[in-house]
Structure 1
């Protein structure tokens, strides 16, 4: 194996946009950069530098991260010259606690500075592409996307075309706390997702989203493409959240698999919409961006679902590219040097701290006898699956993570 790595070492490169593009047949419409763990600023600093180079050298203008898509509108407004402060953008523009990251703060600060004095057509844009905080702590209320969609349509269409009034919508939604019930994730009986009100709201959301599409020519002519795109985002989010809440109330064996699948489908829809307006760098966990089926173990059961990356890749083909990230140590979480028989262990033997690896040449050098998968004592870190090497377009390897 040492001979194999000696053969591969000269084919690794600095983590630079120019080196990434040399691995690909053409500039992708959506370049996905994965991470194997959340909350590590070292990985976000690598992302920030790569995005700067993609902006300056390759014409990329949008970065999308695994954060609430509606909250992301706050950051996008700030970086494109809107009011408010950087502190407010970080507090209200991120989910999952990502607004506390110094590297995310630097990204937002730099993007606003870059846009200053430039025409709107050349602005950098920021987006979240997650459907919301859809994890163990519960799911968001559909109030914001439903009411925003209704309010967008109401002044531009005949009232008889709307499925309900704003007052009726508010009545059906009720208190947000019943949607955000944390216990519902583990106890379906605590979910409001299959109540008579929720069922009626799903029909209303579907009608509103359909009306939006039916009236596309008039709506874009009246209020512009930007407002229509935002309304479509609200429509996707409203229907997705209501579907997610419905499955939270389900008691069948397929409940968790469907919840995971609905979330990644929402991510995929948002990424496809972003890619339609120009080249995008997307950043999220490897498991959301990989081409292969994703999996996890929960309560002794193995759950499998198609990731957002696998869905987007199927739609975009060669216009989708995926760079996975692997790492050596996270000593502050008890993850020491990787075993030498793993991919991470082989790459850890190289002297450089950060390298871009040609995964196809690496896979060829390793041959049929793939290295062992790496196991981790830290639940928040997922080692690289060697079987996925052939499905990646490149591998970013970071040797050691320092505490954020």
Structure 2
């Protein structure tokens, strides 16, 4: 059933009629706002995205935690996927399942990329999932995933060793001779992990080994491994079950794209940075598609990442003097899932700790935070029915003086997201990396 899109005379009219106020400290107002939001797309949604305006905002992280808890309890969600390394996430999943390490501290670094394990709210999320799973009355156990590519780590892009070993170990467990044959050709080409992970390769292509003879040969051998897994799918699934097979294939496909990323690192094209960003987001989307397929018989998935990764429109980032544009994961997911993918973008009025002051008059953040709060959800209708003249002249608020990854709303945000979650303010998370004033006062 389709619903006619209402028409609004002004943006203030839209906000007054559509904003759903809630407080994270009031479970009833929060549940009501979320229920109203989810009633519109109905039960067809399989993947719900929640964006954050910047990494480390305590309010966004708490919103995510409360949302996931409520989605589990009231709307049939069985998994959460974070913007953290796909292969590393398996360690966290073992922990929430009650297996593996006995304490969170043992997975805090190894289970997350980007140092996200240090964020206090991430520990809160993981511990809640572990406690939920320990309750025998909960028949469907929750799963934790990372969905980021292993390309954007603090120490540089990962070596392909780990992801290839998952696929090789799987094949060897089913067919020892075939697995060892692939391994004997792949292992000599891997070299040292530190060589792959050179963090300076991003700014100096000459320091990447992605187009070396060994790396090129490894890309061919990886294609041979993928081909073998695909050709033998019926017999492999029959012997291992579909879940183990799909996992091994996904890791092999991850290795293929990781090697493509390393090859691009070694390139000198003017499009190099945009292509690197595009490869990363494409891998994010493919990982999420795999996660949704893996959860389909159990429940739905909540994905959490920076706004720019989950929106439907083309993303942009300034790197040096140039501005680079690429298709983010959300645009890819929109093509893959259509209406089965719904995404919430987030925004904030003020965050003193991160150098975000009061939004300027007439900006979306200014208009939205003027509505009852301290937080509100509002449908965007993808910009349909909103006054075109106001959207065309909508100003963009000033950015953060301390956080380079801050995402400001623009008129395009209304088309990129289905809903906006707007907080009056947020502190910076304990455990977040130090922030520095990017615009120091030059006067003595």
Q: Same fold (TM over 0.5)?
A: yes
Aligned-partner Cα distance in 2 for 1:125–1:68? 15
Q: Which residue of 2 aligns with 1:103?
A: 121
Aligned-pair CA distance for 1:206: 1.4
Contact 2:56 2:428 in 1 (8 A): no
Aligned-pair CA distance for 1:334: 1.5
Q: Which residue of 1 aligns with 2:156?
A: 138
Match for 1:11 among 9, 12, 18?
18
Aligned-partner Cα distance in 1 for 2:213–2:10? 65
Contact 1:325 1:397 in 2 (8 A): yes
Q: Which residue of 1 aligns with 2:396?
A: 373
Q: Is 1:78–2:95 an aligned residue pair?
A: yes
Closer, same or farther in 2 for the Cα pair 1:194/1:116, shift >3 Å? same
Q: Which residue of 2 aligns with 1:183?
A: 200
Aligned-partner Cα distance in 1 for 2:311–2:118? 26
> CA RMSD for the aligned pairs?
2.2
Match for 2:144 among 108, 126, 143?
126
Match for 2:311 among 290, 299, 308?
290
Match for 1:92 among 95, 106, 110?
110
Contact 1:8 1:365 in 2 (8 A): no
Q: Which residue of 1 aligns with 2:424?
A: 399
Contact 1:373 1:383 in 2 (8 A): yes
Aligned-pair CA distance for 1:24: 2.0
Please give the residue correspondences for 1:1-400 in structure 2 after superposition, counting only pairs within 5 Å. 4-5=11-12, 8-13=15-20, 14=22, 15-16=30-31, 17-84=34-101, 85-118=103-136, 122-134=140-152, 137-157=155-175, 159=177, 161=178, 164-276=181-293, 277-278=295-296, 279-360=300-381, 364-370=385-391, 371-378=394-401, 379-400=404-425
Closer, same or farther in 2 for the Cα pair 1:230/1:319, shift >3 Å? same
Aligned-partner Cα distance in 1 for 2:84–2:337? 22
Aligned-pair CA distance for 1:118: 3.9
Closer, same or farther in 2 for the Cα pair 1:192/1:226, shift >3 Å? same
Aligned-partner Cα distance in 1 for 2:10–2:39? 25
Closer, same or farther in 2 for the Cα pair 1:357/1:250, shift >3 Å? same
Secondary structure, counterpart of 1:90 in structure 2 = coil
Aligned-pair CA distance for 1:3: 6.8
How many residues of Structure 1 are paired with residues of Structure 2 in the alignment?
Answer: 403
Closer, same or farther in 2 for the Cα pair 1:253/1:3, shift >3 Å? closer
Contact 2:88 2:111 in 1 (8 A): yes
Aligned-pair CA distance for 1:181: 0.6
Aligned-pair CA distance for 1:347: 1.2
**TM-score, length-scaled by structure 2:** 0.85
Gaps of 5+ in 1: none
Contact 1:338 1:348 in 2 (8 A): no
Gaps of 5+ in 2: 1-7, 23-29, 430-444
Closer, same or farther in 2 for the Cα pair 1:363/1:328, shift >3 Å? farther
Secondary structure, counterpart of 2:258 in structure 1 = helix
Aligned-partner Cα distance in 2 for 1:134–1:403? 22
1:206-250 deviation line (CA, Å, top 9, x unaligned): 111222222222222222333223212311221111010000000
Contact 2:11 2:386 in 1 (8 A): yes
Contact 1:23 1:394 in 2 (8 A): no
Aligned-pair CA distance for 1:165: 4.5
